[in-house]
Structure 1
Amino acid sequence: MTYRALCLTSAIALTASAAAAEMNFNRVASFPVVANMAEGEDTARESSAEIISASADGMTLVYSDSPLGVVGMIDITDPANPQPKGNVALEGGEPTAVSALGNTVFVGVNTSESFTAPSGYLMHLDMATGAEAGRCDLGGQPDSTAVAPDGSFVVVAVENERDEDAGDGRVPQMPAGHVSIIPLNADGTMQCDAQIRANVTGLAEVAGEDPEPEFVDVSANGEIVVTLQENNHIVVLSSTGEVVSHFSAGAVDLEGIDATDERAALLFNESQASVPREPDGIQWIDTDHFVTANEGDMDGGSRGFTVFNKDGSVVYESGVSFEHAIVQIGHYPDRRSDAKGVEPEGMEFGTFGGTPYVFLLAERSSIIGVYDMTDPANPTLKQLLPSGVAPEGAVAIPARNLLVTANEADLLEDGGARSHVMIYEYQDAPAVYPHITSAGMDTLTGWGANSGMVADADGTIWAVNDSFYGFQPTIFHIDPSQTPAQIVKAIPVTRGGQPAQLMDMEGITLDGEGGYWVASEGRLDRGILHALYHVNADGEIEATIPVPSELLAVESRFGFEGITKVGNTLWMAVQREWADDPKNHVKLVAYNLETEEWGAVRYEKAEPATGWVGLSEITAHGDHVYIIERDNQIGDAAVTKKVYRVALTEMVPAALGGDLPVVAKEEVVDLLPYLTSTGGYVLDKVEGLAITEDGTMWVSTDNDGVDDHSGETMLFSIEGGL
């Protein structure tokens, strides 16, 4: 078998229609930060890569891990094969930020007893030994750090953050924050006694008496820019702490957004007026301009980024364009619609191959926007890169053609992905991600949580979304011959002309007459039936076939996860055991469209190493049905992600309620190498399988609607061997 159209590790395979290669960033590795724990340590503790930096030679990464109270280090001598260098525990506090200088690193450490008694220090740490080289008291709680490009000083945003449970969570809440500037000696050691605590009170219109400095950066000529996020204000300081300029970050009018939570639908038909930017991350792109990531906090969050001149004039405003681009690649976090949408938070700047780039981190959609900043008044979106869950920090290493992100979310308690550091290389190669997009459609079309698939005679693919979008069930028509694959049509599934509800579409097959059969996985405690739906070409449900009483008597919520049609018989794969199934056996259920008779066979699945193993899809092709069998594990814990096949001669249904024959299965392909081929960790939900007439298998993953998930959707093909 050969793997087409995506990539294998760092070797990019071009399709026949692909254009000549150009420089792009592609992910080459993912490092789970739990791997930095020493042998014997409890790995079931929360750990988180937050802010990240790199040694002068670009061979060592260093990051703050606040939950664990450590600074972690990673050896990236071989960037495609990062190795753990371990953790350095901090004394009596938690790290909030790191900034490297040479082969040492400055670490902001929060030691606050309370919100009203903030404290902290700046530690100077030797990367090679882990030994402390110096410490300066900061007089408050540090947030971010930055080192002057010439190495003459280090600056710290001392936030003294507010208590979100006090005073309705609003500023002012004293004590006020400040900006600490600490001169450095020629050998990089700190001059604590010469520390300057720049006063930034009395500048902002919003709670000017209580500035909360959030993020700092230093320009090539030594000027400091700092965001006062809660105050919606920006301040430019000299290297000695004088105010050069200051101004409100302003507000943005937003059109074409989804601003309503809890409706389980992607509807971008709302607007918001005068939304305060409330920027978080900020980066100089030259000595006159800087860029803000407008995350928002108390009252704002304009979902994009802004280019400012240091005099306060707006040079460029992205508006909704960044968010719309994210919508089109299936990464929009619908459950964050009423709370800042994709939520740009951090950013990095770097020049690669002579081109200046800003890397904009969208925390809630787990995406990195790569913008060409050659013209600050006209940034160009070049790429959208997949990250781990909740990118928080990034570091560019142009000398090695590398970009690195720290992704803070550790979903250990929810059985999700652990926190990861991800590494990208600037390559003479096509962009590998996204795998699928709706960007070519006439209207802005969001998508996600794609489940079952089926191939049409012309080589195109039909797919359905699942119950995550319960008020917007949709059939998507996909052209996989393009790179990335193109959604060309979205058909709402309706009942009586209105969006159908109480469905969980997990499988789709063609009826041979221009319509579709859809399998819905039931959840009776939520009013969702285990059922088959006949849907016409326009998406209207024409018939509903509930499962018979013999199945209802033994049902569980892990129901139909795929559907295929063989002659006049529909076959459905049941995900997990029902009450009458032996251990590690599940049903393949049959429904005869002519006789209306139900039957089944049994399928023996793998014994799970951890968690559970179930079926996710069933697709007929030639003399076999092909079945996805997978565990529910992520990353290194994943064992079973495979495609099996069963001969049609085995698929002879027996009557329900009696003994059911167990079919013989044959392994076709192990999907684990493909699931790691783009440098990411193994995604758990491999849920779609479509096989074209020429035998090409297309496999897709379900991104859970970008809820406690990176949002990444893989769609890849495997040719031959069927």
Structure 2
Amino acid sequence: MKKLSISLLTALLIMAGCNNDENTNNEPEVVVNENPAAFKEIGSITIGGEAAAEISAYCEKTKRLFTVNNSGVNQIDIIDITDPTKPTKIGKIDLTSYEGAANSVSVFDGKLAVALESTANKQGNGKVVVFNTSDYSLIKQVTVGALPDMITFSPDGKYIMTANEGEPNTDYSQDPNGTISIIETSTYNVTTLDFASFSGQAATLTKDGFRISKSAKSFAQDIEPEYITISDDSKTAWVTLQENNGVAKVDLTSKTITAIYPLGFKDFNTAENAIDVSDSDDKIAFNPWKVKGMFMPDAISHFSANNVPYFVTANEGDAREYTANTDIKRMKSLKLDASVFPDAATLKLDTNLGRLNLIADMGDTDGDGDLDEMISFGARSFSIWNGNTGKIVYDSKNDLDKKANELGTYDDKRSDDKGSEPEAVYVAKMGNQNILFVGLERSDAFMTYDVTNPNAPQYLQTVKTGDAPEGLLFIPASKSPTKRSLLVVSSEGDGTVKIYQPDLK
């Protein structure tokens, strides 16, 4: 067995408190000669069925995971990972008395923050409830915007942020503004920001690939914040606006939204972006097609290289499916412009593009009632973007689907929708490398890449997970119960939490 090298100085830097589970890329280093291309499962626990293990947070002080469990219950399950090879459920926090359902959790310095959407009225304001991680006692509860979908502490612990999705009800009679809430942990004062001030930029943003639904009552109501990452210095946040195909930049010092970055489109009509588009052809075949994809990212993470900030997105894609507005249709049900698609009849076969789900209210560029271009949900990739400008630096092309196929986990029955469906991303520092983990919801796997050079990421590994991995949580060696790096994968499809550890070099 190879030897661990832990410097005395580093050991002294290891804090007793719990640190942010979502965004800390600047943890004090425990010098461990680990191989980031060799993660292996070392422990697993099943806490319920579907929706039982969506997101987990870790407390270093108690060596516990706090995992959302919405599988017929409304609680946070507490898992002891003092020995990560034998994770053990030791308790729960019942949330029923708080009149909200948990969507996300985050931990810092002995405090567990939980994002709760209102169960009385999903379009009503949500809550953040803060508990002590040692005895689960209530510390504070505060009101935030409608449908807080994700929560995180800033790396310095001074802020809690929530992405409040603000989805409409099914007939659009209620459609709250999508918002971002910033909570100061010293006072628990809350600042909730909406996007109304950007409505004057709607035309310019749309031209560059931002999306506002044709059913929207207003610009601010249509925005749907999804996921947050906060810079290591706790001054800047980037927030995905999934259904809108954008990312918002937030200045935490001034508590203002400073920019919206439209993400544009991906061209699938190239060899390197070739995709499998049919779930009815009894084969997996990656081919170029005259189709574009909106990135529509779910999770987001960040890192820096040469003093430049970058954010990474999991380009899942997401449709709006309501009684008053359903924007997803099969390609074969839509009319194509004959001059652009002279082979429309052939393209509409189920074995070709006929089954592909398209964004129904986009693509008619000249307004004559037929599609001049086909636009689908998601980019089937991860992308790296410049954090200062929002410009794309790198896209993984079709690598996720092809690598999943090589592993034997690619689900051909999702080819007509979003392929492997990249859902989660997390960038962690391992030694002097920035390592990216990408969770694939429909391929039941995560992949690792070395993104130390953001212009040229290097693929490292594909690892099988539970069913529908939703949450990725990296525990650095300095915070780990074993003083070895751990990756915790929470899978909502089968309610499992799996723990992975890399081999030593």
Look up the equivalent residue of 2:191 and give its one-letter code. I
Q: Aligned to 1:76, which of 77, 81, 96?
A: 81
What is the match of residue 94 of structure 1?
101
- State the Cα distance separating 1:51 from its structure 2 match: 1.1
- Does 2:297 align with 1:297? no
Q: Are the aligned partners of 2:227 and 2:239 in contact in 1 as well (CA < 8 Å)?
A: yes
Post-superposition CA distance 1:8-43 (Å, at most 9, x none) = xxxxxxxxxxxxx95521111111113xxxxxxxxx
| Separation of aligned partners in 1, 2:248 and 2:238 | 6
CA contact (8 A) 1:53 1:394 kept: no
User: CA RMSD, aligned part only?
Assistant: 2.0
Instruction: Give the secondary structure class of the aligned counterpart of 2:405.
Output: helix
Per the alignment, residue 427 of structure 1 pairs with 503
**Higher Rg of the two aligned structures:** 1
Structure number with greater CO (CA < 8 Å, separation at least 6) is 2
Q: Which residue of 2 aligns with 1:224?
A: 237
Hey, what does 1:374 align to over in structure 2? 452
- How many angstroms does 1:57 deviate by? 4.1
State the Cα distance separating 1:327 from its structure 2 match: 1.2
2:46 paired with 1:51: no
Q: For structure 2, list consecutive stretches of 5 or more residues without a partner in the other structure.
A: 1-33, 213-218, 320-358, 360-376
Who is 2:275 aligned against? 257
- Pick from 13, 22, 33 the counterpart of residue 47 of structure 2: 33
SS of the residue 1:326 aligns to: helix
Name 1:181's counterpart in structure 2: 182
AA paired with 1:107? V
* 1:584 alignment counterpart: none
Amino acid at match of 1:308: W
1:111 partnered with 2:118: yes
In the alignment, which residue of structure 2 is the partner of 1:154? 160
- 2:127 corresponds to which of 100, 118, 121: 121
Q: Does 1:274 align with 2:292?
A: yes
Cα distance in 2 between the residues matched to 1:225 and 1:131: 31
Which residue number corresponds to residue 61 of structure 1?
65
Q: Is the 8 A contact 1:142 1:157 kept in 2?
A: yes
CA deviations 1:268-303 (Å, max 9, x no partner) are: 235253211001100111261000000001242110
Shift of 1:174: 1.9
Task: Tell me: CA distance 1:342–1:96, structure 2 relative to 1, closer, same or farther (3 Å).
Answer: same
CA distance in 2 between counterparts of 1:22 and 1:395 reads 18
* In structure 1, distance between residues paired with 2:62 and 2:242: 31
* Counterpart secondary structure, 1:375: coil
Counterpart-to-counterpart distance in 2, 1:269 and 1:166:
39
Map 1:503-582 → 2, pairs under 5 A: none
AA at the equivalent of 1:138:
V
Is the Cα contact below 8 Å between 2:248 and 2:259 reproduced in 1? yes
**Contact 1:113-1:119 within 8 A present in 2 as well:** no
Tell me the alpha carbon deviations over residues 555-579 of structure 1, each in whole angstroms, 9 at most, x when there is no partner.
xxxxxxxxxxxxxxxxxxxxxxxxx
Number of equivalences:
379
Amino acid in structure 1 at the alignment position of 2:250: L
**Structure 2 counterpart of 1:384, one-letter code:** T
What is the rounded CA distance, in whole Å, between the counterparts of 2:147 and 2:472 in structure 1?
A: 22
**How many angstroms apart in 2 are the aligned matches of 1:159 and 1:133?**
25
Q: Could you tell me which amino acid in structure 2 is paired with residue 244 of structure 1?
A: T
Could you tell me which residue of structure 1 aligns to residue 11 of structure 2?
none
Deviations 1:404-435 (A, max 9, x none): 0100013xxxxxxxx10000012216xxxxxx
- Mapped to 2, the partners of 1:313 and 1:274 lie a distance apart of 18
Cα 1:173–1:367 change in 2 (3 A) is: farther
Q: Which amino acid aligns with 1:111?
A: S
Unmatched segments (≥5 aa) in structure 1: 1-20, 35-44, 186-190, 411-418, 430-722
CA distance in structure 2 between the partners assigned to 1:303 and 1:325 by the alignment: 12
Q: CA deviation at 1:46?
A: 5.4
Residues 83-132 of structure 1 show CA distances to partners (whole Å, capped at 9, x for unaligned) of 112221102221000011122210001114345x3231000011221211
Call closer, same or farther: CA 1:58–1:328 in 2, change over 3 Å.
farther
| Equivalent AA in structure 1 for residue 396 of structure 2 | S
* Preserved contact between residue 101 and residue 119 of structure 2 (Cα < 8 Å): no
Which position in structure 1 is the counterpart of 2:403? Answer: 325
Q: Given the alignment, which residue of 456, 467, 489 partners 1:405?
A: 489
| CA deviation string 1:54-89 (max 9, x = no partner) | 113472111112332111111111111111122211
Mapped partners of 1:166, 1:291: distance in 2: 34
Which AA in structure 2 matches 1:133?
I
* Residue 387 (structure 1) aligned to one of 456, 459, 465: 465
Name the SS of the counterpart of 1:316 in structure 2.
strand
Distance 1:173 1:252, change over 3 A: farther
TM-score, length-normalised on structure 1? 0.51
Distance 1:177 1:47, change over 3 A: closer
Q: Match of 1:341?
A: 419
Letter of the 1:134 partner, please give it.
K
Distance change (3 Å), C-alpha of 1:166 and 1:382 = farther
Counterpart position of 1:309: 386
Deviations 1:232-257 (A, max 9, x none): 11111000322333211111112421
Q: Does the residue aligned with 2:291 lie in a helix, a strand or coil?
A: strand
Matched letter for residue 471 of structure 2 = G
